[in-house]
Structure 1
Amino acid sequence: MSTPSRQMSLIAFMQAQNCSNYVGSWRHPSSMSDFMSPAYYQRIARTLEDAKFDMAFFDDRLAMPDIYGKDHRDTVANGIRAVKLDPSVVLMTMAAATSRLGLGATYSTTYYEPYHVARLFATLDLMTGGRVAWNVVTSLNNSEAENFGYEEHLEHDLRYDRADEFMEVVTGHWDSWEDDALLLDKTGEGRFADPDKVHRLDHVGNYFRSKGPLTVPRSAQGHPVLLQAGQSGRGMAFAARWAELVFASYPSLEAGRKQYEFLKSAIAKAGRNPDTVKVAPAVKVIVADTAEQAREQYELTAALAKPIDSLALLCEVLNVDFSARPYDLPFTDEELAAVSWQSLRDKVIAKTGKKNPSVRDFVEGSGRGTLKEGPTFVGTASQVADEMQEWFEHACDGFVVSATRVPGSYEDFARLVVPELQRRGLFRREYPGNTLRDTLGVSRPAVHAWRPNAGSRRAA
């Protein structure tokens, strides 16, 4: 069998919390419950590295899902992402147990400062030998705003306008040190670094002012890989400008084909080579030695979901309290325009065919909190690999694999699916290099030329 010209990327979708992305996963009888210990995350990390996964990355929110009923009691009682650890710290516990696995963490452009994020991720990248990625998000609800001293969150497009400038500042600081700036000359002139190759940013913009230079030199991979999951019109434009790996959401293969083509076209229109940007949709995989066993596991897992899971999670991402609203009352145009996660709103409208959906439509149309949210590949290794291969050949560059029980989902995938993908020549048998960029096949960024007015917002 000839080796395909492309090989897929595999990314594990992680949560530094009491459940996986499927919130009912903590209820599964085989899910481990030591999620507040380093051993929990290190076991997963070793499993993923042994299977030659590209990366594990952590999703995050800066508040409990407490908008439903304006109370956290249901969230806590039902374990709906009630525990959320800082992903950057958990990332380092996994780094300590691995040497090649890429590691990504979500950090918000809405409630953190650019210099802090630039310094944090540059340091993480150095301490892991160039294996870190930053999942760039704009926070989306009032609970997050209130945790940081604000009364309400920013409007959707304004969050992205601010995020664009945030990225300019962060990437500008990452360019503070040229690659050969550090000298460590102990015997010659005794110079630590070349001051002509360490630069101040002197950024003055609409939202931020930041002087620099950054105090962290460049890493082996230049700077962290940039992940982004923008699915709305404004979010997709942001991803097309900045992302090196796009975390996508496909409701079906046919929809994925269209979205993949649209994303690649948007990247080209942004002046970038679309072949250098990976697009990976999220999928759940339930695999077993026989199809019957896989179906039994699916039925058991599906039964773990509760109605409150869906309601709490929808309220969290839409920034709307459903608790006092009639279940079948349509939302007005004004109410729909104000929801936070616009791509989810658009998905529900498209799926239900209703211009003004109700709470019922959001629950049933989104599948939020259930196995119906996004694709779930169920079957034997060969059956799962068949579906993955078809998607890979027509609609994506890899997959973000989301667990339905931990660590069993990752261990089953590593034991059964990875060898089948390798047999077909669709996935690597060894890591190609040391950094995450080596693994992803994403080029090392060059330092931007330093000159007066370099960049759209850098001062002279």
Structure 2
Amino acid sequence: MSSPKEILLNAFNMNCVGHINHGLWTHPRDRSDEYNRLDYWTSLAATLERGLFDGLFLADIVGVYDVYQQSVDLTLKESIQLPVNDPLMLVSAMAAVTNGLGFGVTVNVHAEEPYIFARRMSTLDHLTEGRIGWNIVTGYLDSAARAVGQAALGEHDTRYDRADECLDLLYALWEGSWDDEAVIRDRQARVYADPQHVRKIKHEGKYYRADGYHLSEPSRQRTPVLYQAGTSGRGQQFAARHAECVFISSPDTNVARAASRSIRQGAVAQGRRAEDIRIFAGITVVVDRTEKAAQEKYEDYVRYASPEAGLAHFSAGTGIDFSQYELDEPITYGKGNFVQTSVDLARERGWTKRSILSGMELGGRYPLIIGSPEQVADALETWIDNGEVDGFNLARTVTPESYEDFIDLVVPVLQQRGRYKTAYGEGSLRKRLFGEGNRLPDRHTGATFRHGRSAEIPA
């Protein structure tokens, strides 16, 4: 009889005040308004390491939520991911106070010059000793496009076409510019790196051009662990080729199972293995020592949460100004450049303003688990077994207590059941997630960009 699958766990956070469960910054025990203090993040990292979290997954946006009421007024009042600071700046400090915790940072592929970005990620892979991952996003906010001088966001599928080419260039830099034998560090011969093992990368594509050497020597992972969150048709095609970890936002285990199977089938069609993808579901947990205490804690949180702020966040994701609709008025869900899976799900289920708000009592849209440690563990196991996911992105409520509660109450139960590790494994983040090597496996498309192997670059 096979042993039960161990649950993977990321803390889901953002370098801002309000992230997913909006309004809870007003709770007297919440410390999220200290997000711009370094000790806030180093303390959180140490807490997560104590709980043996696989990673801290940091979301990011480079625009503002200005669809609801056609303004940023509520966004500013409730701090709905505004203000928001750079996530990459946090990693070095948190890495310095931890040894096993991984870091997944969100960077918009269209907001960075690939050549410069390649060095930034290699630097973090060196400084974390191989604990860095990149959440690849293509953006969905017109406000972000306008802020950098563009008329509007590019068409949805075209953004992924451009991202495909960007990854090809990044693979060439990370995997192909320096051989492992390049760095000699021979003091007597006065040779740090052997020129015969370092080569210039020349790329002439539809969206990018580059002619230069990667500026960093090979890091432990070379390519960071690749996360991706798009589950639209085109997003899944992108994930099938590139992603190692996929983040899904599913309302229940049935939707999660369908998404998980589709994602894995796509990877297999690309010559990869189903187990080459780790799937994380977004989830919110309110736990206490008893079911009654957990319910009371939830009711306390609800008094401070803002469902309307959650609705404003959802407006930005769908491109629909829900403020113009009555509570039970039918809503027109069209196609657009937004989070297409959210739009499709809302259309399929006929969500009205009232039904959306009813699911956002804590100011957020993720599935909610409330209960004792045993009840929470039961629910998480159901998601793993029936939803066919590998783990969770655990959204914060009142911070840092929501993570502390989970670590102190739920983790021991999962460990007793053989569902959660009791120590960090050896090696890089990639090795611990997949149980293989530190580098991309040979069957991943990025491996084709290594010297001596021919890369197939899409036209």
Q: Indicate whether the TM-score tops 0.5.
A: yes
Q: Report the residue type matching 1:135 in the other structure.
A: N
1:119 & 1:311 partners in 2: Cα distance? 38
Distance 1:154 1:327 in 2: 32
Alpha-carbon distance between aligned partners in 2 of 1:273 and 1:116, rounded to the nearest angstrom: 32
- Deviation of 1:301 (Å): 2.1
* Equivalent in the alignment of 2:371: 379
Amino acid at match of 1:380: S
Question: What is residue 425 of structure 1 aligned with on the other side?
Answer: 418
Which aligned pairs between 1:406-421 and structure 2 lie closer than 5 A? 406-421=399-414
Letter in structure 2 aligned against 1:50: R
Q: Which residue of 2 aligns with 1:184?
A: 185
Q: For residue 26 of structure 1, what is the aligned residue in structure 2?
A: 25
Correspondences of 1:78-93 after superposition (within 5 Å): 78-93=78-93
SS of residue in 2 equivalent to 1:316: helix
Structure 1 counterpart of 2:373, one-letter code: A
Other-structure match for 1:346 = 344
How far apart are the structure 1 equivalents of 2:205 and 2:430? Answer: 30
Whole-angstrom CA distance in 1 between matches of 2:180 and 2:96: 26
The CA RMSD measured in Å over matched residues stands at: 2.3
Determine if contact 1:111/1:139 at 8 Å carries over to the other structure: no
Q: Could you tell me how far apart the structure 1 residues matched to 2:381 and 2:424 are?
A: 21
1:141/1:340 contact within 8 Å kept: yes
Deviation of residue 63 (structure 1)? 2.0
Q: Distance in 1 between matches of 2:327 and 2:451?
A: 57
1:380 and 1:452 mapped to 2: Cα distance? 53
One-letter amino acid of the counterpart of residue 184, structure 2 = L
Distance in 1 (CA, whole Å) between partners of 2:414 and 2:406 is 11
The 3-state SS of whatever aligns with 1:202 is: strand
One-letter code aligned to 2:369: F
Tell me which residue corresponds to 2:5.
Answer: 6
Residue 12 of structure 1 contacts residue 400 of structure 1 at CA under 8 Å; is this kept in 2?
Answer: yes
Within a 5 Å distance, the mapping from 1:294-443 to structure 2 comes to: 294-324=294-324, 330=330, 336-352=334-350, 360=353, 363-364=356-357, 367=359, 370=362, 373-394=365-386, 395-441=388-434, 443=437
Please give the TM-score of this superposition, normalised by the length of structure 2: 0.91
- Gaps of at least 5 residues in structure 1 are none
- Taking the aligned partners of 1:155 and 1:375, their CA distance within structure 2 comes to 30
Q: Is the 2:21–2:364 Cα contact (8 Å) retained in structure 1?
A: no
Amino acid at match of 1:30: R
Shift of the 361–177 alpha-carbon distance from structure 1 to 2, 3 Å rule, reads: farther
Note the alpha carbon deviations across 1:191-221, whole angstroms, 9 max, x for none. Answer: 2212232222211111111122210122122
Q: Which amino acid aligns with 1:209?
A: R
**Which residues in structure 2 correspond to 1:68-79 (within 5 Å)?**
68-79=68-79
Structure-2 change in CA distance of 1:227 and 1:92 (3 Å): same
**Contact 1:385 1:420 (C-alpha < 8 Å) held by counterparts:** yes
1:39-188 matches, within 5 Å, as: 39-175=39-175, 176-188=177-189
Once the two structures are superposed, residues 214-271 of structure 1 have per-residue CA deviations (whole angstroms, 9 ceiling, x without a partner) of 1012212232100001111111111111111111112111222222212111111122
Paired letter, 1:25: L
Shift of 1:9: 0.9
- Matches of 2:420 and 2:268 in 1, distance apart? 26
User: Matches of 2:56 and 2:389 in 1, distance apart?
Assistant: 18
The separation in 1 between residues aligned to 2:422 and 2:454, in whole angstroms, is 46
Distance 1:385 1:322, change over 3 A: closer
Counterpart in the other structure of 2:212: 212
| Distance across 2 between alignment mates of 1:230 and 1:369 | 26
Query: Matched residues in 1 for 2:450 and 2:181: separation?
Result: 14
Question: What count of residue pairs does the alignment treat as equivalent?
Answer: 448
> How far, CA to CA, are the matches of 1:383 and 1:138 in structure 2?
37
1:274-305 deviations in Å (ceiling 9; x for gaps): 11211110111111011011111112223333
Q: What's the CA shift for 1:314?
A: 2.3
| TM superposition shift of 1:139 | 0.9
